[in-house]
């Protein structure tokens, strides 16, 4: 795609305009722990393809794959100094990198509070930022949907122990099919197997860290105290040790409560009902976030109409996580700034330049 990037020359009063994408320079890429290799490559590949040098700073909770990626790149013949990996905690290594005056681009995937700290540091040097942040994505199920398909995708929101920023953790189900949806959901979710992720029979593996399990459980216990009803799970899976949290589903939830509005980043979903399209679109958009949205309906016209109204960087209709690296990826509102993927990556990782050439022999 980088080799195909271009814009036709165009004429202005006899002068030729030529658009080019020039390398920006040193790019600092800060990747998260929840899909460490995949999300690092989403940043590293376009940054290198644009002709830049890269400093990759992985999360201190998932350092290994970044170092392995650097080793593989070196073995493949990438020149020394082109791809660099800096290990360390964010408050020290990360802070030094994003504040450095020699950095020309910063790409960060992670939490909103950390993004604000990075943005303040980058502001001193006016370093351009690309931020892919948290989400509290809505998952809409209309009465005319294929319920088996909707349920299968809803249960899939527990994937990776819920440690997925895109997850549709706010389930909105049309009232007339609510009971049947819940029945099928509980039946399917009850068959999920937690355990060692190296076992092919495992559906849900562990959380990343004991501190993260405590954070997730804090959300759940406060929701219980606030009166939310637990339909599934509701606590750690102590049979498997300290890193496993049971898939959890809440109902009777205040739509403006913490559990319904804040990103838990664990296997915790909340269930709401709705009566009509306008009501559910308004509820889905009533969020500080705007990373993704999912909708399930048997009406193609409704799918297009609702998708156009939802505030989200990505909308999936009757599917989930169909991701093409040629497509733009990012979030609205507090879910991020900018887009990466496809040509949008090169708009960020390059300095887009227009050169204007006078006709040969032209004199003023």
Distance CA 220, CA 233 (A): 10
Q: Show the tokens assigned to 43.
A: 């940043």
Q: Which of 27, 165, 263, 350 is catalytic?
A: 165
Burial 53-70 (b: 16+ CB within 10 A, else e): bbbbbbbeebbebbeebb
- Strand order, beta sheet including 292-296: 229-232, 248-251, 268-274, 170-174, 138-141, 292-296, 314-317
Closest CA to 222 of 256, 269, 252, 258: 258
Catalytic residue among 60, 91, 132, 258: 132
Q: Phi and psi dihedrals of 12, rounded to 5? A: -135, 105
- Yes or no: say if 56 and 68 are a contact pair by the CB < 8 Å rule: no
Asked about 175 being catalytic, the answer comes back as: no
**Residue 54 phi, psi dihedral angles, 5° rounding:** -130, 140
Is 27 catalytic? The answer is no
For residues 289 and 311, the answer to whether their CB atoms sit within 8 Å is: no
Catalytic positions: 132, 165
């Amino acid at each position: 795609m980088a080799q195909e990037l271009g814009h036709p020359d165009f004429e202005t009063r006899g002068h030729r305009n030529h658009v080019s994408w020039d390398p920006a320079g040193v790019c600092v890429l800060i990747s998260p722990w929840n899909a460490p290799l995949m999300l690092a490559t989403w940043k590293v590949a376009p940054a290198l393809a644009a002709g830049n040098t890269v400093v990759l700073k992985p999360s201190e909770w998932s350092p290994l794959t970044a170092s392995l990626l650097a080793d593989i790149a070196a073995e493949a013949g990438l020149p020394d100094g082109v791809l660099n990996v800096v290990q360390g905690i964010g408050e020290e290594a990360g802070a030094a990198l994003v504040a450095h005056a020699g950095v020309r681009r910063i790409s960060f995937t992670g939490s909103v509070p950390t993004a604000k700290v990075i943005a303040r540091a980058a502001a001193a040097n006016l370093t351009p930022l690309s931020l892919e942040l948290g989400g509290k994505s809505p998952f809409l199920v209309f009465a005319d949907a294929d319920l088996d398909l909707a349920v299968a995708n809803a249960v899939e929101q527990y994937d990776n122990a819920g440690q997925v920023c895109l997850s549709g953790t706010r389930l909105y189900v049309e009232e007339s099919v609510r009971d049947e949806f819940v029945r099928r959901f509980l039946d399917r979710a009850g068959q999920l197997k937690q355990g060692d992720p190296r076992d092919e029979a495992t559906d849900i593996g562990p959380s990343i860290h004991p501190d993260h399990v405590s954070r997730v459980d804090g959300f759940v216990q406060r929701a219980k105290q606030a009166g939310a009803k637990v339909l599934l799970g509701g606590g750690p899976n102590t049979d498997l040790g300290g890193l496993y949290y049971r898939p959890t589903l809440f109902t009777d939830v205040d739509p403006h409560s913490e559990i319904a509005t804040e990103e838990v980043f664990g296997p915790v979903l909340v269930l709401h009902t709705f009566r009509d399209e306008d009501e559910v679109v308004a509820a889905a958009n009533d969020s500080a976030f705007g990373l993704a949205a999912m909708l399930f309906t048997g009406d193609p016209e409704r799918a297009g109409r609702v998708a156009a109204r939802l505030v989200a960087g990505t909308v999936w209709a009757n599917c989930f996580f169909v991701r093409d690296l040629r497509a733009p990826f990012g979030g609205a509102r507090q879910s991020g700034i900018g887009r990466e993927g496809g040509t949008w990556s090169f708009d960020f990782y390059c300095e887009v330049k227009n050169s204007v050439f006078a006709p040969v022999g032209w004199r003023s």
